[in-house]
Chains A and B, each alone.
Chain A
Amino acid sequence: MSKRIAGAATIGLAAVLALSACGSGSDGNGGGDGGDKAAGGPVTLKMVAADYGDGPTAENSGDKFWKSVVDEFQAANPDIKVEVQVINWNDIDKQVATMVQNGQVPDILQTGDYSGFVQDGLLHKVDEVLSPNTQSDLLEKFAEFGKVDGTAYGIPFVSSARALFYNKDLFEKAGIAEPPKTWDELKADAEKLKKAGVSQPFGLPLGQEEAQAESFLWFMGNGGGYKDDSGKWAIDSPQNVETFTFIKGLHDAGLTTPNPGTKDRKTVWEDFAAGKVGMVNGGPMSIPIFESGGLTNYGVTAIPGKSGPMDTTLGVEDWIMAFNKNGHQEQIRKFFDFFYSSSAVQKISDTYKLLPVTKSGIEKLSSDEKLKPFLDALPNATFYPFTDPKWSEVNTAIKQTIGSAVSGDPAKVLGEIQKIAEGS
């Protein structure tokens, strides 16, 4: 008897351990929807989304945003329940990977990349989960990036573009009339700012949060990029090495954020908001951070390139996608169509200053003065080479190591990343 009890206890304990191990990333609310379906009751859609806000307790948290969307949706569709789990950007990739490894995929995922899941055959095609009406409202150029080998899998969710923000008060204090247009002007202005006592004349976040964006913007300013025109990886191209040599020069002269290879963009944006940074590359989504920090007297302009303002910028698209494993195609379609026609799209732009991906959404925003520079930049935007299967691995390497090119040897650091990109 005691053996049986002990045995049962053992199995129970093991199950608890196994469950808690699997659920470590999912707050333990995974599973369970299969039972609902068998019973013929309401279907529960499990959704995982990235947090565009300032964490779970903030007024603009993803939890609060999605709760308002889901409440509205559930009121209209009482037979579908939606459980949303919001995860911050630093952890979402790894947590989703853990879910996939454990066979606990969500029905809907909203994050920064979709292409990795396509190779593993995990996603619904867009045609299966989005009505033609909604599809035709998406900007063609954006929807195009959602395709792998001609078939659409990723649905554009939000987009953003980048520009140079500069602190007008600090510029005035340093006696600078105009924001810089070239690298030389940028350096000269940074020196003036330094003399005026600004501790970080140019904010340079090359830490793991978004080093890939900051580096890309600098590469573009010198006609470089992650790939060359023929589509081959060109991370250690002569232009890129020259670019980082220039950045290294800025850093060595004390004109940037100290130790940029360890600084996340959020920290640097907060420093800009606090008036400690003269200029910094940012996007519409940095506006709320600047304003909540009390900074309102800032200007926005095109990012300086080596010999003139850049005619392109970094465009970022985030995605929403549907997994095909749990067989909730119909319910997912209902939710997507509801979402794209609801006021939620407008709410994202208002709350997070992200740019819409639908024609109707952009039309509604065209009168917003603050977003105008970014809406104008979108048509010319350049995107990450994220449809390349090597991108995620390259991206990991960039995030971790590219910042050390500023303190070390640019050619060597970029060469190491190129080696990873070219590896099998």
Chain B
Amino acid sequence: MQQMPALKRVARKLEPLAWIGPAMVLIAVVVVWPVIEMIRSSFLKISRFGVVQGSNGTGNYAKLFDEADFGGVMIRSVIWVVAVVALTVLISLGLAQLFNQRFPGRRVTRWALIAPWAASVVMTSIMFKWMLDPEVGLINMIRRDLGLIDALGGADADPLGAASTAMPWLIAVAVFVSVPFTTYALLAGLATIPAEVYEAARVDGASRWRTYWSVTLPLLRPALTVAALINVMNVFNNFPIIWVMTHGQPGYSTATSTIFMFILKGSDIGESAAMSVVNFGMVIVLVAIFLKVTNWKTEVPR
């Protein structure tokens, strides 16, 4: 060993680089560099058309935090994420359990579940917007025929027109497009649970609920954590649903931070970059809280 020439030794040490190097370069170029660039532009004064006019210190942040709607937008973003992810996970847990059973037509229903996932989110959002149109929307016509509203065309038939009725619809559409992925992730998780543990539970005389609670859920936790985590990030950064259906209006009352950032881009790119940095920080904080709450590192007790 000691006779090995120095050059060869160095080459040996560097060998791992050959394997991880490309991945590192890729991460540096497509992940790290844009982040640095984003943080850098948040301290610059940039004209509306993207020409840099020099440093702006922390001016962009001061302006952002001074926006009358900033606080509301941030609170709404958190509510949006928590509501959409919680509902999505609950519904998906049920659906995954259902689709894990054997029943006639299971293949067809499993395929049908993919539809909202396969369709473009923008398309889905436009469809819902049309169905909620106050004059000619299908959902509103059904609501009228059911006697829930008196007539078309008025404020009652315009759920997307006011924040209090628009938010539930936006959340519903977001859940609608998130459920397929989550369900499939959980189905995959269910498939990994060996049949023996269920047998053991049955032998021990556990009830159905007890089995689900003490056997299925703990063993499903890895899949559940991953699915929920991806949803948290996806939903937080979700843009098309709100943009297409309400544009964040009236005012900013249905805008989340991503929408706010995009609107700011039209008036002040530096301030918009500051919003992006805040947004980025928020995702990290949300994910950190999520991982803390789910205790993802601790082993599942068996």
Q: How far is the CA of A166 from the CA of B294 in the complex (A)?
A: 61
CB distance from B46 to the nearest CB of A (A): 8
Distance in angstroms between the alpha carbons of A208 and B68 in the assembled complex? 19
Interface membership of B49, Cβ < 8 A: yes
Contact between B153 and A258, CB atoms less than 8 A apart? yes
**Contact of A94 with B25 in the complex, beta carbons under 8 Å:** no
Stretch of B119-127, B158-166, B193-201, B214-222 lying at the A interface: B158-166
Using CB atoms, name the residue of chain A closest to B259: A400
> What chain A residues lie within 8 Å of B248 (beta carbons)?
400
Give Cα A408 to B22, complex, Å: 56
In the complex, what distance in Å separates the CA atom of A267 from the CA atom of B153? 12
Residues of A within 8 Å of B30, CB to CB, are 14, 17
Q: How far is the CB of B167 from chain A (nearest CB, A)?
A: 13
Report chain A residues within 8 Å CB of B51.
100, 120, 122
User: A97, B22: Cβ atoms under 8 Å?
Assistant: no
* Total number of B residues with any Cβ neighbor in A under 8 Å: 43
From B95-103, B175-183, B264-272, B279-287, give the one contacting chain A: B264-272
**Is A401 on the interface with B (CB-CB < 8 A)?**
yes
Across the interface, B250 reaches (CB within 8 A) one of A122, A276, A403, namely: A403
| Among candidates A9, A392, A401, residue contacting B48 with C-beta atoms closer than 8 Å | A392
Q: Interface size for chain A: under 10, 10 to 19, 20 to 34, or 35 or more residues?
A: 35 or more
CA of A271 to CA of B134, assembled, Å: 10
- How far is A373 from B238 in the complex, measured between Cα atoms in Å? 46
CA A98 to CA B49, docked complex, whole Å: 8
Across the interface, do B26 and A396 meet the contact criterion of CB distance under 8 Å? no
Task: Check B134 against A97 for contact (C-beta < 8 Å).
Answer: no
Q: Is the interface of A mostly helix, strand, loop or mixed?
A: helix
Please, which residues of chain A bring their CB within 8 A of the CB of B161?
258-259, 261-263
Q: How far is the CB of A198 from chain B (nearest CB, A)?
A: 9
Q: Which residue of B lies closest to A6 (CB)?
A: B22
A404 touches B162 (CB 8 A): no
* Chain A: minimal CB distance from B152 (Å): 7
Contact A97–B68 (Cβ < 8 Å): no
Q: Which of B63, B133, B246, B251 has the most CB of A within 10 A?
A: B251
| Chain B contacts for A101, CB-based, 8 A | 49-50, 269
B120-160 vs A, CB cutoff 8 Å, 1 = contact: the mask equals: 00000000000001111000000000000001111101101
Decide: A119 near B249, CB < 8 A? Known: A2-B18, A259-B161.
no
Contact of B29 with A by CB under 8 A = yes
User: Once the chains bind, are B158 and A120 in contact (CB under 8 Å)?
Assistant: no
Closest A residue, CB atoms, query B34: A21
Residue contacts A-B, CB under 8 angstroms, 16 given = A7-B22, A14-B26, A14-B29, A96-B49, A97-B266, A258-B153, A258-B154, A259-B155, A259-B161, A261-B251, A262-B247, A276-B153, A396-B263, A403-B249, A413-B251, A423-B63
